[in-house]
Amino acid sequence: MLAAALLLPGSSSAEGCTDPLAAAPLLAAEALDLDALRGFYGAADPCLWTDGAAAALRAALTRLPEDGLDPEQFHLSALIRRAAPTDPSVAAERDLLLTDAALAYGRTMAAGRIETSALSDQIDFPHPAFDPAESLRAALGEGDVAGWLTRMSPTDPQYAALKQVLARYRGLSEWPAIPMPGGKAIESGQHSPVVAQLRQRLLAEGDLTVAAGDDALAGPVLDALKHFQRRHGLTPDGRLGKQSFVVLNVPLADRIGQIVANLERRREVARLLPPTRIEVNVADATVTVFRDGQAVSGMRAVVGDAEHQTPMLISSIRDVEINPPWVVPASIIRKEIMPHIHRDPGYLARHQMKWEDGQLVQASGPGNSLGRLKFEFANPFSVYLHDTPMHSLFALDARALSHGCVRLEHPLDLAQALLAQATPEPIEHAIASGETSRMRLPSAMPVAVLYWSAYVEADGTVDFRDDIYHRDARLLAALHMPRRVASAEHCIGVCRNT
């Protein structure tokens, strides 16, 4: 029925084009997901793609660089060579390539091109089954492939904003490195020949809009430096020190790579993030509360260091633990606690720690490492959000300092919001009791622990963060690899790139 509907008068498919699957052996140079194709086509189906539908898909594939993707991984050149087939066998090849490219496009836009859990064991995202085949068949039958392509794309405003930023950065010229003179910082108000280079560097990304000026780190160039520092997660003090030089000298190609990597991350979670949620940006070491898609509050956080990385995950918080004890993980006991015990037999007593049923437990209280509040959620990494007695750490720019859990700057504010309390008094009263207890949330709150090393603010300002775990490089390398396809157990003829 579908095939007949697609071969109405006006269709430009080559006459006699049937059974596209039979063309697979002729496409040995292309990576085809034959399992998906066999599920899409029925036995001896005629060709399904009209010239108009094929042109819509080719146009979408041509625009894929705007998404940080390579059109050649979606057969673009092969499709261009077969744009107007007159021979039935070539038309069958075109039909098979078009379907494979469309299915890959749908999966990529709806769930990402890379299964990132294959790159790291520090990722746990739910992956509900998504098969674009049914909606593609409907779009072909209705003559609405262009609309289908649009519906596959992420609707996340951040995704659209990052695409605009990618286009802008690809249009920039590479900026030269700026040497740090004599290894000394330049303070605001000081004169230095480096200021002229700094001026050109800040003009390159638009932090500075006025080219003229002297060699003093003052006025518009000072304001521009502070703006640059803020959007790179540095203290905007206008002091041109070592860290500012390091960030200024990150090459343009690396910034473009960060944008591409974060576009892929956005695609992966685009359909997984509920509009109301807690979102941890590990790369930024911040926590934001979203209500109906709008950020309503935020705070600084402390996240895992390079050796104890905070994972990426999506889960839900169901209650808040008051005055939590801390069950010390075995790795911390072995690497950190035991050396202290050997040097200081009174270490455990002084830190309110004791052995209980084979576990080392730190009693709740003001000195407890989890502080007074703990926000648990199911995950395979045993990480959670929690308070901390070490509030001085939140003043630091670089806050990748924990063993993997996320420490919160304002945990009481978060608890009050989640528990829908008009005032913090009920929570403070429970804390003051000294007893360990739990307070149930009125409804579960989704929590997403993510890794945005590039993102766009509401006013269009692009922010970059240090790739503290070197995840961008691994993701970019995977994106540049040939598209992997499903098992070719049922290959017809010769199969390659599987």
Could you say which architecture CATH assigns to the domain 273-325+364-477? Beta Barrel (2.40)
**Inter-residue contact 25 to 494 (CB < 8 Å):** yes
User: In which band, very low, low, confident or very high, does the pLDDT at 129 lie, cut at 50, 70 and 90?
Assistant: confident
Please tell me which residue, 487 or 330, carries the higher pLDDT value.
330
The pair of three-digit structure tokens given for residue 364, joined into one six-digit string:
């709740």
User: In which band, very low, low, confident or very high, does the pLDDT at 160 lie, cut at 50, 70 and 90?
Assistant: very high
The pair of three-digit structure tokens given for residue 334, joined into one six-digit string:
């072995």
**Inter-residue contact 242 to 185 (CB < 8 Å):** yes
User: In which band, very low, low, confident or very high, does the pLDDT at 485 lie, cut at 50, 70 and 90?
Assistant: low
User: In which band, very low, low, confident or very high, does the pLDDT at 245 lie, cut at 50, 70 and 90?
Assistant: very high
Per-residue pLDDT at 14 exceeds 80: no
Comparing C-alpha atoms, which of 258, 260, 240 is closest to residue 250? 258
pLDDT in tens, 34-48: 999 999 998 767 899
pLDDT in tens, 278-288: 999 999 999 99
Instruction: Give start and end residues of each alpha helix (H) in 358-424.
Output: 411-418
Mean pLDDT of 156-181: 95
Residues 6+ apart with CB under 8 A from 196: 215
pLDDT in tens, 447-462: 999 999 999 999 999 9
Residue 17 is predicted with a pLDDT of 86
Residues 6+ apart with CB under 8 A from 18: 44, 45, 46, 47, 88, 92
Check if 181-250 and 273-325+364-477 are the same fold.
Answer: no
Between CA 97 and CA 53 the distance in angstroms is 13
Fold of 181-250: Muramoyl-pentapeptide Carboxypeptidase; domain 1 (1.10.101)
List the chain domain ranges: 2-152, 181-250, 273-325+364-477
**Inter-residue contact 465 to 284 (CB < 8 Å):** yes
Residue 322 is predicted with a pLDDT of 98
Range 115-118 contact pairs with CB under 8 angstroms and sequence separation of 24 or more: 116/265, 116/268, 116/312, 116/475, 116/478
Residue 497 is predicted with a pLDDT of 32
CA distances from 273 to 13, 15, 112, 267 (A): 41, 46, 14, 11
DSSP conformation class of 405: S
Average pLDDT, the chain: 92
State residue 22 phi and psi, 5-degree precision: -70, -15
**Inter-residue contact 389 to 368 (CB < 8 Å):** yes
Q: Give the largest Cα separation in the chain, rounded.
A: 89
Residue 46 is predicted with a pLDDT of 86
User: In which band, very low, low, confident or very high, does the pLDDT at 2 lie, cut at 50, 70 and 90?
Assistant: very low
**Inter-residue contact 130 to 110 (CB < 8 Å):** yes
Between CA 382 and CA 448 the distance in angstroms is 15
Residue 10 is predicted with a pLDDT of 37
Range 7-15 contact pairs with CB under 8 angstroms and sequence separation of 24 or more: 7/46, 10/50, 11/50, 11/51, 12/50, 12/51, 12/84, 13/46, 13/47, 13/49, 13/50, 13/51, 13/91, 13/95, 14/47, 14/85, 14/86, 14/87, 14/88, 14/90, 14/91, 15/88
